[in-house]
Amino acid sequence: MQIIVTGTLLGGTYALIALGLTLQYGAARIMNLANGETLVAACFVSFWLFTATGVNPLLGMVVIAPMALVINWLIYAWLLRPLVRRAKNRGMLEVDSILATFGLLFLLQGLMLLGFGGAYFSYRFLAEPFLILGEPYGLNRVVAFVAAVIVASLLYLFLYHTRQGTAVRAVAVDPASARLVAIDVARTAAFAFALGGALTACGGTLLSTFYTFNASMGVIFTMKALIIVIMGGVGDVRGATLAALILGVTETAVASLIDPGLTLAANYALFVLVLLFRPQGILGRASA
């Protein structure tokens, strides 16, 4: 039971990170391998805000998310839009964007290593016990989970109950038809990419409240997010959320029952199983 609760609490934060990647890949068609760097940057900004100015990370998110939105918009406009323009088909864009964001990953990681070194950072925020069903859990983890649920619900409301959000989904399922209903596909894709970055940054902020981070861990989280996105089915918001919870619980179970060193191995074992048996995603339907 403790494993399930701890895993679910962790899964909430994972879900936000993965929702960011799934928006970037599903709607903007960019497989952003530098997604984890946005997360790490958000960790450092919330660390700095908290330790230097005493700003509560939850409040910090209100600043960090819009910042990430703007920065990711700029990344899209400068680095990725030229690739989108010259790509003759989706496959070509996929290859180009993977290579470009792979490069970006090392550029950003290098800059952060330069700024913060390779040391591990953490800060104490709400590090007190909170009882769920008689068992104590870190209050920071519980708060992070609740905040993740709120942010994810807001995203869901936006995507499923507003005109602009529905337009983002339309671009995700069929960009060629989207322009026939007056949707500016190029702008919507840029916006989806930026919004994805903002979500990942929210995930990073929440993660930093209970997790020890360093400048070079971004790639691990990109891989986790990638596993979740593929498990959930590309572009599937509900699938990604479910997959994030499964990953959180699996990691926690492996770490507490077998060995904490095996969590990454467990990630990939799950990934391989999904690719073998449900390549279309856990909630996805088999393509005809």
Partner 1 sequence: MLEVSNLGVRYGRHMALQGVSLHVGKGEISVMLGANGAGKSSLLKAVAGIVPSEPGTEIRMNGRVISGLAAHLIVEHGIALVPEGRGVFGELTVEENLALGAFAKRARGSEQSTLRLVHELFPRLAERKRQQVRTMSGGEQQMVAIGRALMSMPDILMLDEPSLGLSPLLSKELFRSLKKIAASGFGILLVEQNARLSLKIADRGYLIENGAIAGEDTAHNLRHNPAVINAYLGGGGADQTPAVS
- Return the number of the residue (178 or 244) whose C-beta is nearest partner 1: 178
**Is there a contact between 27 and 155 (Cβ–Cβ < 8 Å)?**
no
- Helix (H), strand (E) at residue 137: strand 135-138
Among residues 163, 257, 286, 287, which is the contact residue for partner 1, using CB under 8 A?
163
Among residues 65, 183, 195, 199, which is the contact residue for partner 1, using CB under 8 A?
183
Q: Judged by CB under 8 A, does residue 2 bind partner 1?
A: no
> Buried (b) or exposed (e) across 27-37, using 16+ Cβ within 10 A?
bbbbbbbbbbb
Q: Judged by CB under 8 A, does residue 18 bind partner 1?
A: no
d(CA 109, CA 267): 23
Q: Which token pair is 50? A: 């908290």
Q: Judged by CB under 8 A, does residue 133 bind partner 1?
A: no
DSSP structural state of residue 80 = I
Stretch that binds partner 1, among 107-115, 166-174, 225-233, 240-248 (CB under 8 A): 166-174
Residue the block writes with tokens 């007056």: 182
**Is there a contact between 31 and 229 (Cβ–Cβ < 8 Å)?**
no
Q: Judged by CB under 8 A, does residue 181 bind partner 1?
A: yes
Q: Judged by CB under 8 A, does residue 282 bind partner 1?
A: no
Q: Judged by CB under 8 A, does residue 1 bind partner 1?
A: no
Among residues 52, 114, 133, 176, which is the contact residue for partner 1, using CB under 8 A?
176
List of residues contacting partner 1 (CB under 8 A)? 163, 166-167, 169-170, 173-174, 176-185
